[in-house]
Chain A
Amino acid sequence: MVATSQDHKYYPWLPFVTLLRKEILRFWRVSTQTLLTPIVTASLYLFVFGATLGERLNVLEGFSYAQFVIPGLIIMGVINNTFANTSSSLFMSRYLGGIVDLLVTPVSPPQFIMAYTLAAMLRGLAVGTVVWLISTLFAVLPWESPLLAILMAVLASFLFAQFGLIAAIYAHNFDTLSMYSNFLILPLVYLGGVFYPISILPDPWGTLSYLNPLFYLIDGFRHAIIGVGDTSYLLAFGVSSAIAASLFAWAAWLIGKGYRLRA
């Protein structure tokens, strides 16, 4: 039995690739909970708004309600699932102590952030894609600027992966963690124009909605798909990118410092 590491080559990218693989396997192992459940939930929304109620609703001239609401439901799936992935994965490993297994390894802070982020983005975008595929049963979307739509979905998933990391670091227990999704993300998503265009709201609610950061993600994504939006692409992408960059900087600072990770 020989126990020296000198004869073994070090692959600097391997820690990152391994952590990314582990994060993907983690949600794949529990795919009923991480992929199937959100898809079923989204399908119910699609059924309610696409096939039943939707026929009686008309919020935007020239589009069926299903066409209006589907982009919002897709982006909602992306947002909820990226957030859920980074936040629960990192929080669980902090809570159960498994994080020390990672802290003693040469995984660097940038590798740490990127592995958690990319795995979460993959889950969020996978859920979004499946929701879109199911939605084709209810309505055909015009897909005005597919590249912009994809870009916005990627941006949304990146943003919420960072937010999930931040929430997992600050959360003290599972209750605090669920508060982020129930009392912050859920209301902001619902009030951010998933189910109605904010232009139909009377003031001050219409104006106040412009302060909702999620409005820009939802509106920008829908705008790219149906070609009509409450705000310009420039503003939608500008605000979303700025928020994503700020959250990334915050998460990078916390993880670089080892805040609440290393004593």
Chain B
Amino acid sequence: MNGLVRLKLWLYIRAMNALVIENLHKSFAGIPAVKGIDFTINQGEIFGLLGPNGAGKSTTINMIAGVVRPGSGRISAFGYDNQRDYRHTRRMLGVVHQEIVIDNFFTVDQALQLHAGYYGVKDDPAWRQLLIERLGLQNHLDKVMLKLSGGLKRRFMIAKALIHRPQLLILDEPTAGVDVELRHGLWEFAREINRQGTTILLTTHYLEEAEEMCDRIAIMNHGELIALEETQKLIRRLSNRRLSLWLEQPLLEVPVGLERFLPRLKEDGSLLQLNLPAGEGAGHILVQLAESGLKIRDIETEQSGLEEVFIHLTGMKGVDGGNQSRP
């Protein structure tokens, strides 16, 4: 293969990716916030970037969006460099910021029209109308942002981020402070957009939702990427399972030899619960118990979720003030 063909192939492969982050660094006043991270987002996927507060997620998102300049490293979107070809990359990105941006000069409808223009796209009334309807903004078109409720502000920000039909939608904590019903609605909408071909990069503190929504998950901590894997693989690889054994005869004390599985007796001794470390099967335990004469009536296993993986990886003690968990 000659050099030119290889270069073309390389460019083609790069263009296939919605986003490529290479060795990205950023410091603020000498304090590193992002310490050399690499990841790639494939076209069409929903990618979750998770991490505790101060992990560097928003800094990373802001560097991708162009609000923060990268310290070093490269970001390319759909094969274009986000510094050199910023006019191109920014048109392909739609960003929903974490902080609610207030502009009181324009009504919802006017702001949506203006926003399309900033992206060099002529207002498309049919598309605008569709966004307005799907995000439930139709009764609020003549209001300025200050008059909107918190949930409406979020929905308006999502409509604004989609008005120029971006190929990659970045959602930075879109459901923070939003009630359950609206959260479900927003995620359903995100899935719909994704099914139509829009790649989605999201950050959220609601791990259950990330588990449900994301094809792949990256976890950041202290400015570094500490995990990057398909969501289910990550959970299977890193989370424990709980094995519940319902016994024919209640036990007074835990059988010996099970200490490393942290055994607990419940239901007056008729339920024995064990923690199975990631990757360990239950078969040999069942054999061992049967050999010791224990009669088992029923078995349940329960996989713990992303939350446990998250706590395990980030070394957080429990769930910090409910911040990293469901509300």
Binding site for B on A (CB under 8 A): 1-6, 8-15, 17-19, 21-22, 25-26, 29-30, 93, 96-98, 100-108, 258, 262-263
* Contact of A106 with B119 at beta-carbon distance under 8 Å, contacts A3-B197, A10-B91, A97-B101 already known: yes
Are B66's CB and A5's CB within 8 A?
A: no
Are B66's CB and A104's CB within 8 A?
A: yes
Are B114's CB and A21's CB within 8 A?
A: yes
Contact with A along B113-125 (1 / 0, CB 8 A): 0110111111010
CA distance A5 to B162 in the complex (A): 10
* Contact of A107 with B118 at beta-carbon distance under 8 Å, contacts A1-B130, A1-B193 already known: yes
Are B193's CB and A102's CB within 8 A?
A: no
Among candidates A8, A18, A96, residue contacting B103 with C-beta atoms closer than 8 Å: A96
CA distance A25 to B311 in the complex (A): 50
**Chain A interface secondary structure, helix, strand, loop or mixed?**
loop
CA distance A96 to B106 in the complex (A): 15
Q: Is B167 among interface residues, defined by CB-CB distance under 8 A?
A: yes
Are A104's CB and B102's CB within 8 A?
A: no
Q: Is B297 among interface residues, defined by CB-CB distance under 8 A?
A: no
Are B105's CB and A101's CB within 8 A?
A: no
Of B28, B118, B124, which is in contact with the most chain A CB atoms at under 10 Å from its CB? B118
CA distance A22 to B192 in the complex (A): 32
* B95 surroundings in chain A (CB, below 8 A): 104
* B68 surroundings in chain A (CB, below 8 A): 262-263
Are B86's CB and A5's CB within 8 A?
A: no
CA distance A21 to B166 in the complex (A): 23
CA distance A105 to B28 in the complex (A): 24
CB of B29, distance to nearest CB on chain A (Å): 11
Are A15's CB and B117's CB within 8 A?
A: yes
* B57 surroundings in chain A (CB, below 8 A): none
* B119 surroundings in chain A (CB, below 8 A): 15, 105-106
Contact with A along B172-193 (1 / 0, CB 8 A): 0000000000000000000011
* B102 surroundings in chain A (CB, below 8 A): 96-98
Are A14's CB and B86's CB within 8 A?
A: no
* A102 surroundings in chain B (CB, below 8 A): 118
* Contact of A106 with B118 at beta-carbon distance under 8 Å, contacts A3-B198, A262-B68 already known: yes
* Contact of A10 with B90 at beta-carbon distance under 8 Å, contacts A1-B193, A25-B105, A98-B102 already known: no
Give the residues from 83 to 106 in chain B that come closer than 8 angstroms, CB to CB, to chain A.
86-88, 90-93, 95, 97, 99, 101-103, 105-106
Q: Is B196 among interface residues, defined by CB-CB distance under 8 A?
A: yes
Query: Interface residue count for B (Cβ, 8 Å)?
Result: 44
* A12 surroundings in chain B (CB, below 8 A): 87, 120
Are B120's CB and A101's CB within 8 A?
A: no
Among candidates A8, A19, A29, A263, residue contacting B121 with C-beta atoms closer than 8 Å: A8
Closest residue of A by beta carbon distance from B68: A263
CA distance A18 to B95 in the complex (A): 19
* B198 surroundings in chain A (CB, below 8 A): 3-4
Q: Is B69 among interface residues, defined by CB-CB distance under 8 A?
A: yes
Q: Is B65 among interface residues, defined by CB-CB distance under 8 A?
A: yes
Are A3's CB and B67's CB within 8 A?
A: no
* A258 surroundings in chain B (CB, below 8 A): 69
12 A-B residue pairs with Cβ-Cβ distance under 8 Å, sorted by A, are A1-B192, A3-B193, A3-B197, A8-B121, A8-B124, A15-B117, A15-B120, A96-B102, A102-B118, A104-B95, A105-B119, A106-B119
CA distance A103 to B118 in the complex (A): 10
* Contact of A14 with B117 at beta-carbon distance under 8 Å, contacts A97-B102, A263-B62, A263-B67 already known: yes
* Contact of A5 with B114 at beta-carbon distance under 8 Å, contacts A97-B101, A104-B65, A104-B66 already known: no
Q: Is B25 among interface residues, defined by CB-CB distance under 8 A?
A: no
Are A106's CB and B103's CB within 8 A?
A: no
